[in-house]
Chains A and B, each alone.
Chain A
Amino acid sequence: MCLEWRKLSERDEDYEMVFGVCIFTALILLIVIAAMMPERFIPPCLFKHLAHTPCPTCGSYRALLLLKSGHIGSAFRTQPLMVSAGLMSVIYSAYSWIVVIGRYPRLRIKGFSLCRIILLFLALVLANWLYILGRLH
């Protein structure tokens, strides 16, 4: 698998349009949630409540509140995966707007393999979980 820039043909699907709109709307939703939710309130995690162990995405809301107050480093240490995902979403959203409006060539994965992407994603989630568990002990 490698990345390449290529012009969008008639047959190609406009992923930037679809995912760009979705991610942008989700980011707006997240900002609205962060702005409206009270400072002290942390939504309970059912997994943590039942298993007495943090789930792989525990700390996301705390990281969001830390980001809101401008503590980027602390937010990243609290929940590295979700903060990275948020950052990637912002970058992808900006890239989508630029290439869709400017009609520039699109970034595509040559030899795309869904299986590898899923494995990579699972490995990242697992690494993040181990980090969170390791920080506790």
Chain B
Amino acid sequence: MTEEQKPQEPEVVPPTAGAPLSKDVEEGRTFAILSYALSFISIPFFLVPLIMRNNDFSLYHAKQCLMIWLAGIAVGVVGSLLMVVCIGVILLPAGMIFLLVLAVMGLMNAVQGLQKPVPVIGKYAEDWFKGITKV
């Protein structure tokens, strides 16, 4: 197959590549920051932007925060089950530290006005919750 015959691969643009409008960021930043910050004291504030769905930026970070909470529930369940064997005593705090680090990184993204997924689990949030859009 020659160079001309090769089908042109469409350029893959990830959903995070396009920077959101600055107005959107300005309006949604407070809710995005609060979603992460209040998660540290176990308040599910991310539900507010998730239900309101009036701002792309805050909705994006609310979805990331929801993913962190879901991972937290999974770590809690697995860690509690592993408490039966000796290793759960170490694994449960280690998992919680991991989620805390993710929340801090998400908080930093929100403060900087970046629409970036949190490491490791963020891309799953983009995939799973892509149906939840701004109304």
Q: Name the distance in Å between B115's Cβ and chain A's nearest Cβ.
A: 14
| A58 with B86, Cβ < 8 A, contacts A15-B120, A29-B93 known | yes
Stretch from B56-64, B96-104, B126-134 at the A interface: B96-104
B120 touches A13 (CB 8 A): yes
B90 touches A30 (CB 8 A): yes
Kindly state the separation between the CA atoms of A97 and B3 in the bound complex, as whole angstroms.
Answer: 45
Q: Name the distance in Å between A104's Cβ and chain B's nearest Cβ.
A: 19
For the residues of B in contact with A, the DSSP-based class is: helix
| A57 with B119, Cβ < 8 A, contacts A22-B94, A26-B97 known | no
The residue from B86, B97, B101 contacting A43, defined by CB atoms under 8 A apart:
B86
Q: Chain B 85-128, CB within 8 Å of chain A: the 1/0 string?
A: 11101100110011001100100000000000001100000000
Judge if B83 is at the interface, Cβ distance under 8 Å. Answer: yes
B83 touches A22 (CB 8 A): no
Contact partners of A15 in chain B: CB under 8 A: 119-120
Contact partners of A21 in chain B: CB under 8 A: 97, 101
Contact partners of A17 in chain B: CB under 8 A: 119
Kindly state the separation between the CA atoms of A15 and B119 in the bound complex, as whole angstroms.
Answer: 7
Task: Work out how many contacts link A and B, with CB atoms closer than 8 A.
Answer: 56
| A45 with B85, Cβ < 8 A, contacts A15-B120, A26-B90, A26-B94 known | yes
Kindly state the separation between the CA atoms of A47 and B86 in the bound complex, as whole angstroms.
Answer: 8
B84 touches A46 (CB 8 A): yes
A18 touches B86 (CB 8 A): no
Q: Name the distance in Å between B36's Cβ and chain A's nearest Cβ.
A: 15
Kindly state the separation between the CA atoms of A46 and B89 in the bound complex, as whole angstroms.
Answer: 12
A18 touches B89 (CB 8 A): no
Judge if A92 is at the interface, Cβ distance under 8 Å. Answer: no
Q: Name the distance in Å between B19's Cβ and chain A's nearest Cβ.
A: 13
Contact partners of A59 in chain B: CB under 8 A: 86
Contact partners of A23 in chain B: CB under 8 A: 94
Within 8 A of B (CB), among A68-105: 82
Interface residues of B (CB under 8 A from A): 83-87, 89-90, 93-94, 97-98, 101-102, 105, 119-120
Interface residues of A (CB under 8 A from B): 13-15, 17-19, 21-23, 25-26, 29-30, 43, 45-47, 50, 55-61, 82
Write 12 A-B pairs (CB below 8 A) sorted by A numbering: A13-B120, A15-B120, A18-B105, A21-B101, A22-B94, A22-B97, A26-B93, A45-B86, A50-B84, A57-B87, A58-B85, A60-B90
